[in-house]
Structure 1
Amino acid sequence: MSGDPVSRRGFLKLCASTGALVAGSPALLARTPPERSHSTPARLVHSSGRPLRLDDLEVGENYVFHYPYVTTPCFILNLGKPALPRDGLEMDDGRKYSWRGGVGPQRSVVAFSAICAHRMSYPTPTVSFINYRHEPTAYTTRELKMARREQVIYCCSEGSVYDPAEGCRVLGGPAPQPLAAVDLGLDEDTGELRALGMYGGDMFERFFEKFGFQLALQSEISDIRAPVGEATQVVRLSDYSSNSNVC
């Protein structure tokens, strides 16, 4: 597949029409979507409870939701510019994967795990040391040079910086890999969004081991590994965290 966003209906039609081509041309397999580490779909819903649509997402705003577990936060962002597929992203164990790019008419809507790949800082109801910054932000590159760039995800815990327009590849700081990607699905008829799975280097088991007690207290649930179920609510980060810009 090309990586273009498709509705469930369109995906099924595409599978039926391309199956014979793939069978006859094994090289086409290289263009299939990356393997998902989690593949339980969930509808994204507005704080009012209705389905979340593309036009609900303001350009440059931070939004957060939990997926694939009730305690694992993710960002969903409208970058306001095309975010095209990218090959050659590398996980901390050396495995490579391809990012599918954004969804929507401009391919501007993207979603990633909000758990930093360095020290696993994440948004909490009290504070978020990691957030998306639409405005130009100064940072130190991986080559230890000063740089300034807009539209980055920045983590205040030692300055890891990611580019959400390029699969959240690491621009600066000590993070060893990109943020794990959420595979977004879009109903082209209604504009409604859903999470289809995760791919890339997720850190969930290490996250649970490190923050399990804290997560249980914050969420007030005993099963921190519970899946989100059929739907998960999307809210502004400023509504979710009391302090979301601390550095």
Structure 2
Amino acid sequence: MERRDFIKICAVSGTCVSTCAASSVAHADAKTPSVAGDAPPAKKTGVILKAKNYARVKLVDQDGRAIKAASLKVNHNYVFNYPFESTPCFLLSLDKEASGHPDLVTERGESYGSPRGVGPRKNLVAYSAICAHKLAYPSSQVSFISFREKPSALSRTGKVIGCCADKSAYDPFAGAKVLGGPAPQPLAAVLLEHDPKTDAIYATGTVGGEKFDAFFAKYEFKLSLERGGSKAKERVATSVVLRDLSAHSTQTAQC
């Protein structure tokens, strides 16, 4: 285990100084002025970033049964790995329609649009759960990043994806655009399909600034121990298990 990971775990358990006590606050309100530590918006380069297609993968439960959109709890954290065996993503059934965002920018200045939600209520969205700043993610021990329904130090209004590791906040209703904190770009969106006949949900690709290469480079040793050899970089093929965040990570950091 890396020293930084040990420190983070101690922070959650209370045996070390909590990282959640950091003084910088990122308000997740689109109308709130930038606060200290906010990353400046990236300048557009004129490059249009296209969606990237991966395998069409069905979301299933631990018994292999298809997840039904109607069975999902509203504003609840669900996690699945996509497009690789070790890259976590959030699935959210939001309490209202997710409009997406037509004009987002990656940290490299690439422009792209994030799609609206899918499903009967257009409220189902999925995003990479790898924070765009320091690559915090939901490990088996602790998750510093999650959907935060209630108001907190990260958001006066709540209903944001927030990362306690660096105080970044993202808007899940609008393509996970950055609302505050040092994150240099939105979370990459996972493209979803909903089958109205069966109510099943599929992941088909991504759009936005992927952080997979940086994630593998940073956590290569840890992922190798957990997954065994190169399995961490294998692509998900036909189906993937959807879990509650509480079942995926032992603890969820609060801030």
Residue 210 of structure 1 aligns with an amino acid whose one-letter code is K
Counterparts of 1:64 and 1:221 in 2: how far apart (Å)? 23
2:230 corresponds to which of 222, 233, 240: 222
| C-alpha displacement of 1:56 | 2.2
2:111 corresponds to which of 96, 113, 117: 96
- The residue aligned with 1:71 is 86
Q: 2:175, 2:189 within 8 Å by CA — same for their partners in 1?
A: yes
- The residue aligned with 2:162 is 154
2:200 corresponds to which of 186, 192, 197: 192
TM-score normalised by L of structure 1: 0.81
Moved >3 Å (runs of 4+): none
Residue 233 of structure 2 aligns with an amino acid whose one-letter code is R
- The residue aligned with 1:166 is 174
Q: Which moved more, 1:102-111 or 1:174-183?
A: 102-111
1:138 corresponds to which of 128, 149, 153: 153
Cα offsets for 1:121-154 (capped at 9, x unmatched): 0001111010111122232xxxxxxx51221011
Cα offsets for 1:159-216 (capped at 9, x unmatched): 0100000000000100000000000011111110000101100011111111111112
**Residue 241 (structure 1) aligned with residue 249 (structure 2):** yes
Q: 1:138, 1:149 within 8 Å by CA — same for their partners in 2?
A: no
1:87 corresponds to which of 95, 102, 105: 102
1:47 corresponds to which of 50, 57, 62: 62
- The residue aligned with 1:16 is none
Residue 185 of structure 2 aligns with an amino acid whose one-letter code is Q
Counterparts of 2:74 and 2:173 in 1: how far apart (Å)? 13
**Residue 115 (structure 1) aligned with residue 127 (structure 2):** no
Counterparts of 1:155 and 1:220 in 2: how far apart (Å)? 28
| C-alpha displacement of 1:90 | 0.6
Counterparts of 1:216 and 1:246 in 2: how far apart (Å)? 28
Q: 2:186, 2:209 within 8 Å by CA — same for their partners in 1?
A: yes
Q: 1:38, 1:68 within 8 Å by CA — same for their partners in 2?
A: no
- The residue aligned with 2:28 is none
Residue 35 of structure 1 aligns with an amino acid whose one-letter code is K
Q: Secondary structure at the match of 2:156?
A: strand
1:231 corresponds to which of 236, 239, 250: 239
Counterparts of 2:119 and 2:95 in 1: how far apart (Å)? 11
Counterparts of 2:76 and 2:124 in 1: how far apart (Å)? 11
Counterparts of 2:211 and 2:190 in 1: how far apart (Å)? 13
TM-score normalised by L of structure 2: 0.78
Cα offsets for 1:5-51 (capped at 9, x unmatched): xxxxxxxxxxxxxxxxxxxxxxxxxxxxx722242211111222101
The CA RMSD over aligned residues, in Å, is 1.3
Counterparts of 2:252 and 2:64 in 1: how far apart (Å)? 24
- The residue aligned with 2:185 is 177
Name stretches of at least 5 consecutive residues in structure 1 with no aligned partner: 1-33, 140-146
- The residue aligned with 1:143 is none
- The residue aligned with 2:32 is none
Question: How many percent identity over aligned positions?
Answer: 42
Counterparts of 1:87 and 1:246 in 2: how far apart (Å)? 31
| C-alpha displacement of 1:221 | 4.5
Count matched residues. Answer: 207
